[in-house]
Structure 1
Amino acid sequence: MATTSSANALDVQQPQSSRHAESSPSVSVAGPSSESESATATRSQLSTLISPQVSSYFIAGGIAGAVSRTVVSPLERLKIIQQVQTSATDKQYRGVWRSLVRMWQEEGFRGFMRGNGINCLRIVPYSAVQFTTYEQLKKWFTKYGDRPLDTPTRLLSGALAGITSVCSTYPLDLVRSRLSIATATIALPISPQSTSQASSSSIAQPALSSAYHTSSIAQSAVPKTLAQVEASVSDHLTMFGMTRKVMREEGGLRGLYRGLPATAFGVAPYVGINFAAYEALRGIITPPGKTSVVRKLTCGALAGSISQTLTYPMDVLRRKMQVTGMSALGVRHTGAIDALRYILRTDGVRGLYKGLWPNLLKVSPSIATSFFTYEMVKELLLPPS
């Protein structure tokens, strides 16, 4: 009876719906269905973007970046200082151990961690975006497993992931670079004009001076007391203070993106080679049944060393462009090509590899820790299949 009643009800409603369809435009009938399908598609896309799998990539990538960079913070700062100092000041930060000892004597543990706070603030979203983008691009290029994952695909996925991550966090990287060298005592060439100004000023210009101490004094048209200079400088040694300084003195928001083209051009091959080398080495060093912690760390260390050595000159150019607005360093570059010509003219090809040794000491444990932490956290977060 219930079945018969339902059938009769459908028979009764059929003519009414038919007559309604005849008297109403076809669009009105299709409208609700189309809107429902569109809403369903949107919800499906959102659920894909924030799925547990994608979330695990993002969280694991962020944690991996923060851990790896904190471990090697002193070497990261030393690399930046060596990259930006001129040939006339090489003796100040020459040699890894001697430079680290000097850094400790002058600034203590805080000197080792100088710029690491903003570096972690930058590297968490940077690494999260990079790993997530790489994982998703691999799936997209291989049609979610329908095509083989070969080396060119890994290189392309890594390159695009690197560009995406660096563009999304570049201002933080620039400010971090400024903070890293702001208190480093770098000797500067003194012109006759600056010498005469220093002699008439109440503040004597030391032979060795902090980059921003010198900048603050040199840019002041009116002589200031030492307390005023120190108060002005201390404001610049914070993330927000340095950001305001760059925007105020170097063209606003555009100043925070100084050197971005050179950075993207260098990061793309670096990240591509890094991911491709890591996955290739993993197949050789960590075959099934031989996946110890030491083997996993070795894969990351070798991959990082290979990729960084091949792309290091672009990293030097990136740093030069990022700090070119700091007048205390004495040199301003109009672009990446101008910076390249200056390096080759003053230091030769060797200048493109300044700071490579401390950088390799930094990259090996950093990339090893990054990949190892990423894989470990991802396995903990991913739901069991």
Structure 2
Amino acid sequence: MEVSAEQINTGGTYEVFKRVLKNDSNASFLAGGIAGAISRTVVSPFERAKILLQLQGPGSAQAYHGMFPTIYKMFRDEGWRGLFRGNTLNCIRIFPYSAVQYAVFEDCKVLIEKYKTTPLTSFDRFVAASIGGVVSVAVTYPLDLIRARITVQTASLSRLMKGKLARPPGVLETLREVYQNEGGFFALYKGIVPTTLGVAPYVAINFTLYENLRSLMDNSPSDFSNPVWKLCAGAFSSFVGGVMIYPLDLLRKRYQVASMAGGELGFRYNSVSHALVSIFTSEGFLGAYKGLSANLYKIVPSMAVSWLCYDSIKDWLAHW
């Protein structure tokens, strides 16, 4: 049977594509992006509930109370679409965010190993993951800011601000409004300092704990390839990281929306230190953890699913 030139070319293209994806860095990028998009879609209602709870400042009327009541209120006020409001933008943001995070983490580990004669330590992983967190924030931050704005503008919190919108704002509309009315290009990076201060240690703790747990399991009689182990390890590592850095996560969301409607949400901050002091003094210790339960409901299953998807996709690509 003769093989046509078209079949040869097609086969050659397929092999090139296969080799490209089997490259460890490319595989990490693709697996990380897919894992991030899947995991965030699964927990989208929790993500939006967390943001709404975080943004109830001391001057607000407390439109939301508790995570599940908040989700119910979102559904009652906006229908099922309200549960996933901003998720398309979140997936567009989270794919490069997660992809860059995992790929940079893996590449940094390889780079560190090059200059070491001993195996990677927890500190090495911590540094690699921190770099991954910083780079991923820098690449995708404007989308994160716009998503936070859209979340507020379509929710009951918008009633606290002048000019309640008759329809949900679009991504480009919100982007243009921020750019034109709040300071141009740099306005799109408002809040990036507290975001980076929160994301870098969270990613570092999460990734380091997960890899250490995986190393322990690899050296134990148990089979870590079991998805349950991956889910449990991912859940535990994200829980620890989430609780430790939560006040900074709350702070970054407030920075992102503080200038909306003349600051009528009830908070204005001059700096990161001023913001933290203000939150603890005006809202108490628990004020710095407002929305924590909703955050844990989001990040724990999200990172559990993300690590499971990431490892599974990378294993599949390695054996493809």
TM category (shorter chain) comes to 0.7 to 0.9
1 CA distance for matches of 2:178 and 2:240?
A: 34
Of the candidates 265, 268, 271, which is equivalent to residue 200 of structure 2? 268
Could you say which residue in structure 2 is the equivalent of 1:248?
Answer: 180
| Residue 88 to residue 333, structure 1, CA distance change in 2 (3 Å) | closer
Which of 190, 204, 216 is residue 163 of structure 2 equivalent to? 216
Given the alignment of the two structures, is residue 290 of structure 1 paired with residue 223 of structure 2, yes or no?
A: yes
Distance in 2 (CA, whole Å) between partners of 1:70 and 1:101 is 18
CA contact (8 A) 2:231 2:308 kept: yes
CA contact (8 A) 1:56 1:378 kept: yes
Alignment of structure 1 residues 19-30 onto 2, 5 Å: none
Aligned-partner Cα distance in 2 for 1:144–1:120: 36
Answer yes or no: is 1:346 the counterpart of 2:314.
no
Pairwise CA distance, 1:60:
0.3
Distance 2:45 2:308 in 1: 21
**What are the Cα deviations for residues 182-224 of structure 1, in whole angstroms up to 9, with x where unaligned?**
11113xxxxxxxxxxxxxxxxxxxxxx536xx3436xxxxxxx
Alignment of 1:129-144 (within 5 A): 129-143=100-114
Determine if the alignment matches structure 1 residue 115 to structure 2 residue 89.
Answer: no
The residue type equivalent to 1:119 in the other structure is N
Q: Report the counterpart of residue 312 of structure 2 in structure 1.
A: 376
Which has the larger displacement, 81-90 or 372-381? Answer: 81-90
SS of the aligned residue for 1:77 comes to helix
Structure 1: tracts of 5 or more residues without a match: 1-47, 187-208, 218-228
Q: Does 1:335 align with 2:271?
A: yes
Cα distance in 1, alignment partners of residues 112 and 122 from structure 2: 12
Q: 1:137 to 1:350 in 2, by over 3 A?
A: same
- 2:138 equivalent in structure 1: 167
* Counterpart-to-counterpart distance in 2, 1:164 and 1:315: 17
**What letter is aligned with 1:380?**
W
State which of 316, 324, 332 in structure 1 corresponds to 2:250: 316
Aligned to 1:18: none
Shift of 1:50: 8.4
TM-score, normalising length from structure 2?
0.87
Q: Indicate conservation of the 8 Å contact 2:58/2:266, yes or no.
A: no
**Matching residue of 2:303:** 367
- Counterpart-to-counterpart distance in 2, 1:161 and 1:74: 26
Q: What does residue range 5-44 of structure 1 map to in structure 2 within 5 Å?
A: none
TM normalised by structure 1 equals 0.73
2:69 is the alignment partner of 1:98: yes
Secondary structure at the residue paired with 1:142? helix
Query: 1:4 aligns to what?
Result: none
For residues 288 and 117 of structure 1, the distance between their equivalents in structure 2, rounded to whole angstroms, comes to: 42
Partner of 1:192: none
Q: Aligned partners of 2:204, 2:34: CA distance in 1, in Å?
A: 21
User: How far apart, CA to CA, are the structure 1 residues paired with 2:283 and 2:292?
Assistant: 15
Q: 1:88 deviation in Å?
A: 4.8
Cα distance in 1 for residues equivalent to 2:101 and 2:137: 8
Aligned pairs for 1:79-94 (under 5 A) are: 79-89=50-60, 91-94=62-65
In terms of mean alpha carbon deviation, does 119-128 or 261-270 score higher?
261-270
Give the conservation status (yes or no) of the 8 Å contact 1:122–1:169.
yes
The root-mean-square deviation of aligned C-alpha atoms, in Å, is: 2.1
1:98 deviation in Å? 1.3
Query: Following TM superposition, by how much is the alpha carbon of 1:103 offset from its aligned partner in structure 2, in angstroms?
Result: 0.9
Give 1:382 shift: 2.5
Q: Tell me by how many angstroms 1:383 deviates.
A: 5.3
Check conservation: 2:22, 2:317, Cα contact below 8 A: no
- What are the superposed Cα offsets for residues 42-85 of structure 1, whole Å, 9 maximum, x if unpaired? xxxxxx99872211111001000000100000110111111111
In 2 relative to 1, CA 362–49 (structure 1 residues): closer, same or farther, beyond 3 Å? same
Aligned residues: 298
1:116 is displaced (CA, Å) by 0.8
In structure 2, distance between residues paired with 1:54 and 1:111? 37
Matches of 2:223 and 2:61 in 1, distance apart?
45
Match of 2:238 in 1: 304
Contact 2:50 2:294 in 1 (8 A): yes
Q: Does 1:152 align with 2:123?
A: yes
Partner of 2:120, secondary structure, is coil
- The one of the two structures with greater contact order (alpha-carbon pairs below 8 A, sep at least 6) is 2
* Partner Cα separation in structure 2 for residue 330 and residue 313 of structure 1: 17
Aligned with residue 149 of structure 2, among 144, 168, 178: 178
Q: Deviation of residue 146 (structure 1)?
A: 4.0
Deviates more, 1:91-100 or 1:314-323: 91-100
- Using the alignment, how far apart are the partners of 2:25 and 2:211 within structure 1? 20
* Contact 1:317–1:340 (CA under 8 A) maintained in structure 2: yes
Q: Percent identity?
A: 40
Q: Give yes or no for contact 1:177–1:322 (8 Å, CA) kept in 2.
A: yes
